[in-house]
Amino acid sequence: QELPSNDGVYLDNQPAIVMNTYQVETYAKAKTIDGKAISGIDLAKQIAKVTDDYLNAEFGLTMSGSISVQPYEDTSVTRLVARYTAYIDTRTNNIYRRS
């Protein structure tokens, strides 16, 4: 999910650098993988780690704030939410890492 914002830098009343927040949600259930039982929360964390590595390597994004973990409507499903902040230069379409 992408959440645009009005925060950023404006030149001549036009947005030059805007801040966007990206929210990545992971849903997982307890599973048995290669004969090893893995809890829903551990599986969600493993999936989130793969996602985090990709977003960091591909776009230079780093997670902002804390990860929240909570049960989903189906209590056997774990929901993990991670947020990333990016600053986008609208003139060049470059994405900048939050400092």
- Is the pLDDT at 14 greater than 80? The verdict is no
Whether pTM > 0.75 for this model: the answer is: no
User: Is the distance from CB of 90 to CB of 27 less than 8 angstroms?
Assistant: no
User: Is residue 3 very low, low, confident or very high in pLDDT (cuts 50, 70, 90)?
Assistant: low
Other beta carbons less than 10 A from residue 84's beta carbon: 22
Write the pLDDT tens digit of every residue in 75-99. Answer: 899 999 999 888 888 889 888 775 5
Question: What CA dihedral angle connects 76, 3, 86 and 81, to 10 degrees?
Answer: -10
User: Is the distance from CB of 27 to CB of 48 less than 8 angstroms?
Assistant: no
Write the pLDDT tens digit of every residue in 25-74. Answer: 999 999 999 999 999 999 999 999 999 999 988 888 888 888 888 878 88
